[in-house]
Amino acid sequence: MGKDHPDANLHPEATGLAAKTVQAHSAENDLKLYSGWFCPFVQRVWITLEEKGIQYQYIEVNPYHKPQSLLDMNPRGLVPTLQYQGKPLYESTVLCEFLEEAYPDHTPKLLPEDPYLRARTRIWIDYVGSRIIPAYHRFLQHQGSDGLTEKRTEFLNHLKEFTSEMDPEGPFFLGKEFSLVDIAIAPWANRLWVFDHFKGGLGIPEVGQGGNFEEVWKRWRKWLSAVESRKSVKETLSDKEHYLSIYGRYARDEAQSEAAKAIRVGRGIP
Protein backbone atom coordinates (compact mmCIF):
# COMPACT_ATOMS: atom_id res chain seq x y z
CA MET A 1 0.00 0.00 0.00
CA GLY A 2 1.37 3.36 -0.95
CA LYS A 3 1.21 6.84 0.47
CA ASP A 4 -2.10 7.42 -1.31
CA HIS A 5 -3.79 4.74 0.81
CA PRO A 6 -6.66 6.44 2.67
CA ASP A 7 -5.50 5.25 6.10
CA ALA A 8 -1.82 6.04 5.51
CA ASN A 9 -1.94 9.56 6.89
CA LEU A 10 -1.43 8.50 10.49
CA HIS A 11 0.40 10.45 13.12
CA PRO A 12 3.80 8.77 12.75
CA GLU A 13 4.67 8.09 16.36
CA ALA A 14 3.41 7.70 19.89
CA THR A 15 2.71 10.84 21.93
CA GLY A 16 2.11 11.66 25.58
CA LEU A 17 3.08 9.04 28.15
CA ALA A 18 3.42 6.37 25.44
CA ALA A 19 6.18 8.40 23.76
CA LYS A 20 8.28 8.15 26.93
CA THR A 21 7.74 4.38 27.00
CA VAL A 22 8.85 4.12 23.36
CA GLN A 23 11.96 6.17 24.11
CA ALA A 24 12.84 3.91 27.03
CA HIS A 25 12.72 0.89 24.70
CA SER A 26 14.44 2.23 21.58
CA ALA A 27 17.76 0.43 22.12
CA GLU A 28 18.67 -2.77 20.25
CA ASN A 29 17.29 -5.88 21.94
CA ASP A 30 16.82 -9.53 20.98
CA LEU A 31 13.11 -9.24 21.81
CA LYS A 32 11.54 -6.87 19.27
CA LEU A 33 7.95 -5.62 19.28
CA TYR A 34 6.78 -4.49 15.85
CA SER A 35 4.11 -2.10 16.85
CA GLY A 36 1.61 0.58 15.90
CA TRP A 37 1.14 3.14 18.68
CA PHE A 38 -2.59 3.47 17.90
CA CYS A 39 -3.45 -0.24 17.70
CA PRO A 40 -5.48 -1.76 20.57
CA PHE A 41 -4.22 -5.27 19.75
CA VAL A 42 -0.66 -3.97 20.09
CA GLN A 43 -1.53 -2.33 23.40
CA ARG A 44 -2.44 -5.72 24.89
CA VAL A 45 1.09 -7.01 24.31
CA TRP A 46 2.67 -3.70 25.24
CA ILE A 47 0.83 -3.64 28.60
CA THR A 48 1.99 -7.22 29.27
CA LEU A 49 5.63 -6.34 28.56
CA GLU A 50 5.43 -3.28 30.82
CA GLU A 51 3.61 -5.14 33.61
CA LYS A 52 6.25 -7.86 33.73
CA GLY A 53 9.25 -5.56 33.30
CA ILE A 54 10.57 -7.52 30.30
CA GLN A 55 13.25 -5.77 28.28
CA TYR A 56 12.29 -5.31 24.61
CA GLN A 57 12.91 -3.11 21.60
CA TYR A 58 9.93 -1.11 20.34
CA ILE A 59 9.80 -0.72 16.54
CA GLU A 60 7.10 1.60 15.18
CA VAL A 61 5.41 0.41 11.98
CA ASN A 62 2.96 2.25 9.78
CA PRO A 63 0.84 -0.73 8.65
CA TYR A 64 0.30 1.00 5.30
CA HIS A 65 4.05 1.30 4.64
CA LYS A 66 5.13 -2.10 5.94
CA PRO A 67 8.91 -2.51 6.26
CA GLN A 68 10.41 -5.59 4.62
CA SER A 69 11.78 -6.66 8.01
CA LEU A 70 8.17 -7.11 9.24
CA LEU A 71 6.95 -8.83 6.07
CA ASP A 72 9.84 -11.29 6.27
CA MET A 73 8.53 -12.43 9.67
CA ASN A 74 4.79 -12.05 9.22
CA PRO A 75 3.67 -12.18 5.56
CA ARG A 76 0.34 -10.57 6.52
CA GLY A 77 2.30 -7.62 7.86
CA LEU A 78 0.05 -7.24 10.89
CA VAL A 79 1.03 -5.72 14.22
CA PRO A 80 1.71 -6.78 16.89
CA THR A 81 4.46 -9.08 15.71
CA LEU A 82 7.11 -10.21 18.17
CA GLN A 83 10.59 -11.27 17.14
CA TYR A 84 11.97 -13.69 19.73
CA GLN A 85 15.46 -15.11 19.30
CA GLY A 86 15.22 -14.22 15.62
CA LYS A 87 11.90 -16.04 15.15
CA PRO A 88 8.44 -14.52 14.54
CA LEU A 89 5.30 -14.78 16.66
CA TYR A 90 1.97 -12.98 16.27
CA GLU A 91 -1.68 -12.84 17.44
CA SER A 92 -2.06 -10.59 20.47
CA THR A 93 -3.62 -13.05 22.94
CA VAL A 94 -1.08 -15.73 21.96
CA LEU A 95 1.73 -13.22 22.51
CA CYS A 96 0.45 -12.26 25.96
CA GLU A 97 0.37 -15.91 27.05
CA PHE A 98 3.76 -16.53 25.45
CA LEU A 99 5.35 -13.71 27.47
CA GLU A 100 3.84 -15.20 30.63
CA GLU A 101 5.37 -18.60 29.83
CA ALA A 102 8.69 -17.52 28.30
CA TYR A 103 9.63 -15.19 31.18
CA PRO A 104 8.53 -17.16 34.27
CA ASP A 105 10.78 -15.18 36.61
CA HIS A 106 9.13 -11.89 35.71
CA THR A 107 6.25 -10.84 37.92
CA PRO A 108 3.40 -10.17 38.36
CA LYS A 109 1.94 -13.43 37.12
CA LEU A 110 -0.88 -12.54 34.75
CA LEU A 111 -2.45 -16.01 34.59
CA PRO A 112 -3.66 -17.79 37.75
CA GLU A 113 -1.78 -20.88 38.92
CA ASP A 114 -5.04 -22.74 39.62
CA PRO A 115 -6.03 -24.74 36.49
CA TYR A 116 -9.74 -23.97 36.88
CA LEU A 117 -9.18 -20.22 37.21
CA ARG A 118 -6.71 -20.32 34.34
CA ALA A 119 -9.31 -21.99 32.11
CA ARG A 120 -11.95 -19.50 33.23
CA THR A 121 -9.57 -16.67 32.39
CA ARG A 122 -9.22 -18.05 28.87
CA ILE A 123 -13.01 -18.35 28.48
CA TRP A 124 -13.47 -14.64 29.20
CA ILE A 125 -10.48 -13.59 27.10
CA ASP A 126 -12.18 -15.44 24.26
CA TYR A 127 -15.46 -13.66 25.07
CA VAL A 128 -13.73 -10.30 24.68
CA GLY A 129 -12.41 -11.32 21.27
CA SER A 130 -15.47 -13.11 19.92
CA ARG A 131 -18.25 -10.92 21.37
CA ILE A 132 -17.17 -7.56 22.82
CA ILE A 133 -14.69 -6.37 20.19
CA PRO A 134 -16.88 -7.25 17.16
CA ALA A 135 -19.86 -5.54 18.85
CA TYR A 136 -17.68 -2.48 19.54
CA HIS A 137 -16.85 -2.26 15.83
CA ARG A 138 -20.42 -2.91 14.65
CA PHE A 139 -21.57 -0.03 16.87
CA LEU A 140 -18.76 2.30 15.79
CA GLN A 141 -18.98 1.54 12.06
CA HIS A 142 -22.80 1.66 11.88
CA GLN A 143 -24.06 4.35 9.51
CA GLY A 144 -27.19 6.42 10.05
CA SER A 145 -29.65 6.38 12.94
CA ASP A 146 -31.71 3.35 11.85
CA GLY A 147 -30.41 0.34 13.74
CA LEU A 148 -27.93 2.32 15.85
CA THR A 149 -29.89 1.69 19.05
CA GLU A 150 -29.75 -2.06 18.40
CA LYS A 151 -25.98 -1.92 17.86
CA ARG A 152 -25.56 0.08 21.07
CA THR A 153 -27.75 -2.35 23.02
CA GLU A 154 -25.85 -5.36 21.67
CA PHE A 155 -22.54 -3.86 22.80
CA LEU A 156 -23.84 -2.89 26.25
CA ASN A 157 -25.37 -6.33 26.77
CA HIS A 158 -21.96 -7.91 26.15
CA LEU A 159 -20.37 -5.52 28.65
CA LYS A 160 -23.04 -6.44 31.21
CA GLU A 161 -22.49 -10.17 30.72
CA PHE A 162 -18.71 -9.74 31.05
CA THR A 163 -19.11 -7.59 34.17
CA SER A 164 -21.54 -10.04 35.77
CA GLU A 165 -18.75 -12.65 35.73
CA MET A 166 -16.28 -10.45 37.61
CA ASP A 167 -15.18 -11.15 41.16
CA PRO A 168 -17.72 -9.22 43.30
CA GLU A 169 -15.09 -7.20 45.15
CA GLY A 170 -12.44 -6.73 42.50
CA PRO A 171 -11.36 -4.24 41.56
CA PHE A 172 -10.11 -6.39 38.65
CA PHE A 173 -11.91 -9.21 36.86
CA LEU A 174 -10.41 -11.99 38.99
CA GLY A 175 -10.18 -9.95 42.20
CA LYS A 176 -7.26 -8.01 43.63
CA GLU A 177 -4.78 -9.16 40.97
CA PHE A 178 -4.53 -7.63 37.50
CA SER A 179 -4.62 -10.39 34.86
CA LEU A 180 -4.73 -11.18 31.16
CA VAL A 181 -8.54 -10.86 31.17
CA ASP A 182 -8.19 -7.20 32.14
CA ILE A 183 -5.44 -6.72 29.56
CA ALA A 184 -7.55 -8.35 26.82
CA ILE A 185 -10.26 -5.68 27.06
CA ALA A 186 -8.34 -2.70 28.50
CA PRO A 187 -7.46 -1.04 25.15
CA TRP A 188 -11.12 -0.95 24.06
CA ALA A 189 -12.27 0.15 27.52
CA ASN A 190 -9.87 3.08 27.15
CA ARG A 191 -11.40 3.90 23.77
CA LEU A 192 -15.05 4.05 24.82
CA TRP A 193 -14.99 7.85 24.47
CA VAL A 194 -15.25 7.34 20.69
CA PHE A 195 -18.98 6.64 21.12
CA ASP A 196 -19.56 9.94 22.90
CA HIS A 197 -17.58 11.73 20.21
CA PHE A 198 -18.97 10.03 17.09
CA LYS A 199 -22.15 8.09 17.90
CA GLY A 200 -24.18 10.27 20.26
CA GLY A 201 -23.14 8.53 23.45
CA LEU A 202 -22.16 5.15 24.83
CA GLY A 203 -25.42 4.68 26.72
CA ILE A 204 -24.22 3.36 30.09
CA PRO A 205 -26.76 4.70 32.62
CA GLU A 206 -25.80 7.44 35.04
CA VAL A 207 -25.25 6.48 38.70
CA GLY A 208 -28.60 5.66 40.28
CA GLN A 209 -30.36 5.19 36.92
CA GLY A 210 -29.29 1.64 36.11
CA GLY A 211 -32.55 0.03 37.20
CA ASN A 212 -32.20 -3.74 37.55
CA PHE A 213 -28.59 -3.45 36.39
CA GLU A 214 -27.49 -0.76 38.83
CA GLU A 215 -25.08 -3.12 40.65
CA VAL A 216 -23.63 -4.40 37.38
CA TRP A 217 -22.84 -0.91 36.15
CA LYS A 218 -21.47 0.03 39.57
CA ARG A 219 -19.10 -2.93 39.32
CA TRP A 220 -18.15 -1.93 35.74
CA ARG A 221 -17.24 1.58 36.91
CA LYS A 222 -15.08 0.18 39.70
CA TRP A 223 -13.29 -2.10 37.23
CA LEU A 224 -12.88 0.65 34.64
CA SER A 225 -11.44 3.09 37.17
CA ALA A 226 -8.90 0.51 38.35
CA VAL A 227 -7.83 -0.36 34.80
CA GLU A 228 -7.66 3.25 33.58
CA SER A 229 -5.40 4.20 36.49
CA ARG A 230 -3.05 1.21 36.00
CA LYS A 231 0.48 2.46 35.26
CA SER A 232 1.09 0.02 32.40
CA VAL A 233 -2.18 1.06 30.73
CA LYS A 234 -1.60 4.81 31.05
CA GLU A 235 1.98 4.56 29.82
CA THR A 236 1.00 2.75 26.62
CA LEU A 237 -1.64 5.31 25.57
CA SER A 238 -0.99 8.32 23.36
CA ASP A 239 -2.71 11.71 23.46
CA LYS A 240 -6.41 11.39 22.65
CA GLU A 241 -6.32 13.98 19.84
CA HIS A 242 -4.19 11.69 17.68
CA TYR A 243 -6.71 8.85 17.91
CA LEU A 244 -9.51 11.10 16.64
CA SER A 245 -8.68 10.96 12.93
CA ILE A 246 -8.21 7.18 13.08
CA TYR A 247 -11.50 6.49 14.87
CA GLY A 248 -13.27 9.09 12.73
CA ARG A 249 -12.56 6.86 9.74
CA TYR A 250 -14.09 3.89 11.57
CA ALA A 251 -17.09 5.98 12.60
CA ARG A 252 -17.66 6.94 8.93
CA ASP A 253 -17.01 3.29 7.97
CA GLU A 254 -14.13 4.33 5.72
CA ALA A 255 -11.30 2.56 7.58
CA GLN A 256 -9.40 -0.08 5.61
CA SER A 257 -7.89 -2.08 8.47
CA GLU A 258 -8.42 -5.83 8.47
CA ALA A 259 -10.79 -5.46 11.44
CA ALA A 260 -12.87 -2.78 9.68
CA LYS A 261 -13.12 -4.78 6.45
CA ALA A 262 -14.16 -7.94 8.30
CA ILE A 263 -16.98 -6.14 10.13
CA ARG A 264 -18.13 -4.55 6.87
CA VAL A 265 -18.75 -7.93 5.24
CA GLY A 266 -20.08 -9.63 8.38
CA ARG A 267 -17.03 -11.77 9.15
CA GLY A 268 -15.35 -12.23 12.51
CA ILE A 269 -12.39 -10.00 13.23
CA PRO A 270 -9.22 -11.78 11.98
Q: Which tens digit of pLDDT belongs to each residue from 59-100?
A: 999 877 788 888 888 888 889 999 999 999 999 999 999 999
Cis? peptide before 171, omega within 30° of 0? yes
Number of neighbours of residue 176 by Cβ within 10 angstroms: 10
220, pLDDT greater than 90: yes
Residue 3 pLDDT: 44
For 203-214, write each residue's pLDDT tens digit.
998 888 878 899
9-48 burial, b for 16+ CB within 10 Å, e for fewer?
ebbeebbbebeebbeebeeeeebbbbbbbbbbbbbbbbbb
- Mean pLDDT, the chain, rounded, equals 93
pLDDT digits (tens, 9 = 90+) for 37-54: 999 999 999 999 999 999
Residue 4 has what pLDDT?
47
Instruction: Return the pLDDT at 268.
Output: 78
Separation between Cα atoms, residue 50 and residue 112, nearest integer Å:
18
Measured distance between the N- and C-terminal CA atoms of the chain, rounded to whole angstroms: 19
pLDDT bin (cut points 50, 70, 90) of residue 2 is: very low
Q: How confident is the model at residue 124 (pLDDT cuts 50, 70, 90)?
A: very high
pTM: 0.94
The amino acid at residue 118 is: R
| Stretch among 3-17, 135-149, 152-166 having the lowest mean pLDDT | 3-17
- Sheet hosting strand 32-35, strand order edge to edge: 57-60, 32-35, 81-84, 87-90
Q: What pLDDT is stored for residue 9 in this prediction?
A: 65
All residues at 6 or more sequence positions from 19 whose CB lies less than 8 Å from its CB, including other chains:
13, 238
Mean pLDDT throughout 228-249?
94
Catalytic residues: 39
Per-residue pLDDT, averaged over 244-253, amounts to 91
User: Which H/E stretch holds residue 187?
Assistant: helix 180-189
Asked if residues 69 and 83 have their Cβ atoms less than 8 Å apart, the reply is: no
Residue 221 has pLDDT above 80, yes or no: yes
pLDDT given at position 63 = 73
Give the type of residue at 160. Answer: K
